[in-house]
Amino acid sequence: MTAQFKDLALDAADHQALADWWCRAMGYVRRDSLTGDERPAGWPVPIVDPAGGGPLIWLNPVPEPKSGKNRMHLDVFGDKAELLELGATVVRERDDDIEWDVLADPEGNEFCVFTPR
């Protein structure tokens, strides 16, 4: 084996705000709230599924805004309307060609939303 999956990482101009957004969107929490750790505001923010089912996601601070299409993205089960109420935007709606919606988080990072099972 050459590589083994560890975590996901997402770059963000405002990594603190985007960490909060993804926590609200997916029911995640900041890992530090579970461990009691404190980290400087400029450091990456790890968020986790408190039930332990999903991967750890790092929100990494970067100075530049998103400039192009994601080459890798998240796929989630969820409610498109609720995500839009949280501040997501529609990139592409499901149609005859795709069975999911493509949305973007508040910083423009695309993710696909599938109907919950």
Paired tokens of 53: 């089912």
Give the C-alpha separation, 66 to 33, whole Å.
28
Per-residue model confidence as pLDDT tens digits over 3-34: 999 999 999 999 999 999 999 999 999 998 88
Q: Does domain 7-64 have CATH number 3.40.50?
A: no
Per-residue model confidence as pLDDT tens digits over 53-91: 999 999 999 999 888 888 899 999 999 999 999 999 999
CATH topology for 73-117?
Answer: 2,3-Dihydroxybiphenyl 1,2-Dioxygenase; domain 1 (3.10.180)
Instruction: For the chain, give every domain's residue range.
Output: 7-64, 73-117
Secondary structure (DSSP) of 52-91: S-S--EEEEE-SSPP-S--SS-EEEE--HHHHHHHT-EEE
